[in-house]
Amino acid sequence: MIPIYDKGDFTLKVEPPQGWSFEPTSVDLHIDGETDKCSRGEDINFKFTGFMLSGKVLSKGQSEGPAGVSVSLQRKGGDAAVVQSQTSAGGGYTFKQVLPGEYTLEATHPKWTFVKASIPITIARDSSLPAPPIIISGYDVTGHVMSEGEPIKDVHFLLFSDTVSKEDVTQCDTTPVKGYTNAQGKTPLCSVTSTEEGKISFPSLPSGQYTMVPFYQGQHITFDVMPTSMDFSVAHDSVTLPTTFKVEGFSVSGQVLDSEGGKGIPGVKVKVQDRSEVTSKVDGTYQLVKITSGTYVLTASKDNIFFEPETMKINPNTPRLPDIIASRFSLCGRLVIDKMPPTLPSGGKRRVSLVPEGGSAKDTVSIATDSEGAFCFKVKPGSYVMQPTLSSEEMAAGLKIIPSEQKVQVKNAPVFGINFSQFKADVRGVIKCIDVCGTLQITLHSEAGMEERSPAQISQQTKQASFKLKDVLPGKYKVSVIQNHWCWETPSLDIQVTDSDVTSLEFTQTGYLLQCHVSHPIAMLYHHTKSPKQSKEIDLAKGLNQFCLERSGSYQLTPLSCHKFDQESYNFDTSSPAMLALTATKHLMTGAIVAKQPSSDITVSIRSSIEAEPLVHLGPLKSQKELEEEAKPKAKPTKKGKATAAEEETKVVEDTGPSVYEFTYWARNGERLEITPSSKVILFYPAKAQVTIQAGDDCLGKVVEFEGRAGVFISGQVKPGLGGVKISVTSRSLEDKEVRPAINIDTAKDGRYRIGPLPDTAEYDVQASLEGYVLTKVEGTVGDFKASKLGEITIQVVDEEDVPLQGVLLSLSGGTFRSNNLTQASGSLVFTGLGPDQYFLRALMKEYKFEPGSQMISVEEGSVIKLKIKGSRVAFSCFGVVASLNGEPEQDIALEAQGVGDCGQVVEEGISDQEGKFRIRGLQPECSYELRLKSGEANGHIERAAPKTQIIKVQGKDIADLHIIVFRRLNQFEIGGNVITPSEHLATLKVLLYSEDNLVSPVHTLSLGSSCFFQFPSLPNDGARYVMRLESSLLKSSWEYTLPEASFSTEGYFKHITLQFNPERRSVDQEVSSGSHLALPLIAALIAIGLNHAKLLPILQQLGQNLKGLRSPGSAEGRDMGGAGDQDTRPKKKPKTRKT
């Protein structure tokens, strides 16, 4: 019972559990309190009609099934079906309003087979699961096989599949097909045979991928069925093969033999008229496929075997063709004449004759050789005599061919290798060597240049070697022994070959050749390693040198020169000779130092431009006089006291004249050297020298020279003794008054220092400094200073909880001292270098109040004062992020927090950083603020923000996680329009765009062409004003027209302007009148303007500006599309900015 409290129209619906059915499903009620069923107390009943049953018919092994399967539901023991249904796509079906009970579920189809067509099912009150699936075991697949439009029976069709197993296929013959073999070794699932109607039928195939192969064979003949295979797939329905199989012919075979009853010939190409050729197998058999009945001409071919064409009648009753017999074979050879005698012309083809054995002259056949001397006869089996043909002139000149003739027998195969060659002689001799001969070469060269051959290799481990040169043609020759590293008595012999071999030639070795290539002229000292005291010297010129060594073995060679090579000495072994290449890698350079005062500590450092070369230090150097003294016999030493190490180091050698110090260095060619002399008492001029080595054939000699003069020393002391004081010495040149950079040095522990040597060509100023000290010069001295220690103040700033405060500004002032610095992360700051005085200290940091806020501090000399300041939080900050709509951070966005209510006079500001983060400091507690973007130029590139404002309230702590999204202004302005004019005038028009500040040079120019619409490139929407003008190439003498123009400003985003151009053709009388009356004044005016254009141009521009407001408003039309712009200069209402 449902209580209803109000009158009216209602709909009463039943909402049963899923799968339940009721009738009716809803009842419409009109409650009036009198006539309706509820008011009269009558029941409203909903009748239960049954449950809903659903299920699926599936293909075997699949999750889906076909549509169109009839499914019926019968009560158990009943005959008639209670309800029937058909499956939809995917195999699903549904029964509605089925009452509880026991049923039989049955599926039927006229063609398809089922694993089990019916299943029992019970429907109860709590039944909610779908019915068990009914499985289809397979679908029918059909096709046809034809021949010239007629059906063909008894053709086998074999079925293959990689996705379906043999056990799943039914109603198909699984016995092997006689005569069928699969090339890939696969086993068919089963096969079927075409019917008399040519029908192919597989009654039941499961879903999957298949390949069907036709096979049609008679007793001695195989028929060709096309296509040879067909791929198809079975899904959830019957399949009709799209292509009909066709029998296109039959196959026949034959054999090619080398003779009657002989062996088969493989590789013979057999061609049947216009068909593609086939090739015979190893046994000579061949097969012709797709043949139809008829008479054919068969031709066979193979290299060097020849056949006659055969005419044959072929039909299915003649599956074996008559044999094809070879009729002729090739008889081939070569006539080789390497070189013709000098008196005969070279080249040309030769001829070879062939006659059957026992035959007469009329049976002789003659053919010419090719350019390589090869020849081939085409002969029948038999015996033949073959001989080359020579003229009497050739035989008289000594040309001889061997053998003169050859007998050949041809049986059942081609014959090759019947060769004839030219007569050649042998040349023999001996080679006598100092030691074992080893490997040598003998060359043979013809005087006439007719005989060129590769050198003959001779390898004999004896002191006498023999050689033999074969196949030498008659003529005069030069025989040479090739061993370039040996010296010979006679390296070449002249011989002549006529009609016999040449013998008794002899070559004798006299020594071993040493070849040497040197880059500079040098003297070379060499000796045998077994006789080191028997050295010899030889002068070598630049370039290639060679000389003979009498003995075999190893030699040592040492160059003597001012050039250094990659080795100090070189080895040469006659058993493995190689040309010595001596390329100078370094060259000896000499430098000199001329010192007015001798010194014993002069050193030289040499830095090379080559990174691999180390810095070289030479010295201490000795003067030439010292070296001369040392070279003299030493006198007995006198008894004197020993000098200290320091005195020995800076010992000055007494001498009356200047001392010369020389040094040497091995340098590479092109190497840049920086040479720097040094001494503790001597200064050098120049201080350093840079030289580039340019080596020639001669020695370098002296490349640099320095002058040495005694230097100036500055010394002093800081009192009381204080180490680490920085002493700075600046110098001013006495010549050009130029100030040199300062020289810095720290004092020793006792406060002493010494600087020098310094040049004597400058005046010097000495200053001293040390942090925490005041240093003043001692009067009457050059380099002495007095030190006074300064005071120090250490400030520690903390908050209420004694946590260090970073970033607090501490200002300290007193006397001439001023310092403003921020505390570090530790909250501390140290003021150093404070002289005795009174100092004022003040602490500042926004949002904090400090105790004490300021104070006076008295500092004594050298005193150290430590103070602690405590800060209390009195204001707070808000933190947030400014980003664009896509989440990218926005940098340099100015924000402000405007107080509201009682705090309305307070405004705090902040700017976002590169990550878009901002912080606004100084927000007072219990105050509310309106957070927004700051107006003005700071945010000129921003159009708006979302949210536009935010109200934040400060309640004793910082405010975080504020987010603001900003939208940038569009910075482009689009300008376009159209011209209203007859189409024939469009090609004469140009639209020009000028800046109002420059009406002489257009910003853009557009030619209209065939279109009346135009669009200029984008302009910046910066509010600038522009003028658009129209120009025409129509002659004013023939046309009368007014050129319109319009002005606009680039505020907003887009502007469309319409211009009107209506020219009118002048009459002929007007043209003549105008031309005759106005020509002379116009010419005079143009000449005046040309002569005074510089003065007139500004006046005309000003006149155009004054007349701008007087233009006719009807000369142009403007249509505003979100931008601001007018045709004249009158002020217009400001357009609304488009929001994005």
Domain-embedded: residue 1126 = no
pLDDT per residue as tens digits for the range 768-797: 888 878 888 888 888 899 888 888 899 999
Identify whether residues 801 and 742 lie together within a single domain.
no
1043 pLDDT more than 60:
yes
Identify whether residues 996 and 1053 lie together within a single domain.
yes
Instruction: Please report, for residues 108, 584, 994, 1095, 1099, the alpha-carbon distance to residue 1102 in angstroms, rounded to integers and kept in the order given.
Output: 102, 84, 16, 12, 5
Return the biggest CA–CA distance within the chain.
162
DSSP 925: T
Identify whether residues 663 and 723 lie together within a single domain.
no
Domain-embedded: residue 1131 = no
Identify whether residues 784 and 852 lie together within a single domain.
no
Domain-embedded: residue 857 = yes
Instruction: Please report, for residues 41, 724, 778, 788, the alpha-carbon distance to residue 720 in angstroms, rounded to integers and kept in the order given.
Output: 127, 13, 12, 9
Identify whether residues 1113 and 993 lie together within a single domain.
yes
Rounded-to-integer distance, Cα 727 and Cα 766, Å: 7
The token duo for 1003 is 């910003």
Q: How confident is the model at residue 1115 (pLDDT cuts 50, 70, 90)?
A: very low
Identify whether residues 529 and 394 lie together within a single domain.
no
Rounded-to-integer distance, Cα 915 and Cα 844, Å: 28
Identify whether residues 997 and 1102 lie together within a single domain.
yes
Q: How confident is the model at residue 820 (pLDDT cuts 50, 70, 90)?
A: very high
DSSP states along 939-1003: GTTEEEEESSEEEEE--SS-EEEEEEEEEEPP--BEEEEEEES-GGGGGGEEEEEEETTBSSS-S
880 pLDDT more than 80:
yes
Half-sphere exposure of 826 (CA within 13 A, CB side): 7
Percent of the chain exceeding pLDDT 90 equals 31
Of 765, 789, 813, the residue that ends a domain is 789
pLDDT per residue as tens digits for the range 718-767: 988 888 889 898 888 877 778 878 888 899 989 899 988 888 788 888 88
Rounded-to-integer distance, Cα 474 and Cα 493, Å: 16
AA identity, residue 807:
G
H or E element that contains 1079: helix 1068-1091
Neighbours of 522 (CB within 10 A): 21
Q: Which of 246-255, 683-692, 841-850, 1089-1098 has the lowest mean pLDDT?
A: 1089-1098
Q: What is the mean pLDDT of residues 887-914?
A: 91
Asked if 647 contacts 705 with a C-beta cutoff of 8 angstroms, the reply is no
Strand-pairing partners, residue 793, are 831, 865
Q: What is the mean pLDDT of residues 210-220?
A: 80
Q: Which of 359-373, 1046-1060, 1086-1100 has the lowest mean pLDDT?
A: 1086-1100
The token duo for 791 is 């005071």
Domain-embedded: residue 1135 = no
Residue 109's domain is classified under what CATH number?
Answer: 2.60.40.10
pLDDT per residue as tens digits for the range 365-387: 999 988 888 999 998 899 999 99
Of 326, 373, 382, nearest in space to 354 by CA: 382
Q: How confident is the model at residue 945 (pLDDT cuts 50, 70, 90)?
A: very high
Identify whether residues 434 and 535 lie together within a single domain.
no
Tell me what the pLDDT averaged over the chain comes to: 84
> E strands within 303-414?
305-307, 310-314, 324-336, 351-356, 365-368, 374-379, 382-388, 401-402, 406-410
Identify whether residues 573 and 605 lie together within a single domain.
no
Q: How confident is the model at residue 1087 (pLDDT cuts 50, 70, 90)?
A: low
716 pLDDT more than 70:
yes
The token duo for 1072 is 């003549």
Residue 856 or residue 338, greater confidence = 856
Apex CA 112: angle with CA 108 and CA 115, to 5°? 80
162's torsion region: left (phi>0), alpha (psi -120 to 50) or beta? alpha
Residue 257, Cα to own-chain centre: how many angstroms?
63
Domain-embedded: residue 227 = yes
pLDDT at 810: 92
Rg (CA), the chain: 60
Domain-embedded: residue 645 = no
Identify whether residues 148 and 214 lie together within a single domain.
yes
Q: Are strands 907-911 and 894-900 parallel, antiparallel or unpaired?
A: antiparallel
Of 305, 322, 339, the residue that ends a domain is 322
3-state secondary structure of 760: coil
Identify whether residues 1066 and 944 lie together within a single domain.
no
Q: How confident is the model at residue 591 (pLDDT cuts 50, 70, 90)?
A: very high
Q: What is the mean pLDDT of residues 5-10?
A: 77
pLDDT per residue as tens digits for the range 1025-1042: 999 999 999 998 889 999
Number of domains making up the chain: 11
597 pLDDT more than 90:
no
Identify whether residues 519 and 544 lie together within a single domain.
yes
Q: How confident is the model at residue 363 (pLDDT cuts 50, 70, 90)?
A: confident
Rounded-to-integer distance, Cα 914 and Cα 660, Å: 69
> Domain range spanning residue 298?
251-322
Q: What is the mean pLDDT of residues 427-453?
A: 83
Question: Phi/psi of residue 679, each to 5°?
Answer: -165, 155
Residue 229's domain is classified under what CATH number?
Answer: 2.60.40
Asked if 862 contacts 907 with a C-beta cutoff of 8 angstroms, the reply is no
Asked if 1069 contacts 1036 with a C-beta cutoff of 8 angstroms, the reply is no
Domain-embedded: residue 16 = yes
Q: What is the mean pLDDT of residues 994-1003?
A: 91
The token duo for 840 is 């004022």
pLDDT at 475: 72
Asked, as a colleague might, if the bond just before 720 is cis with ω within 30 of 0, I would say yes
Angle between helices 1068-1091 and 1093-1106 (to 10 degrees): 120
Domain-embedded: residue 595 = yes
Of 322, 338, 358, the residue that ends a domain is 322
Residue 812's domain is classified under what CATH number?
Answer: 2.60.40.1120
Q: How confident is the model at residue 1130 (pLDDT cuts 50, 70, 90)?
A: very low
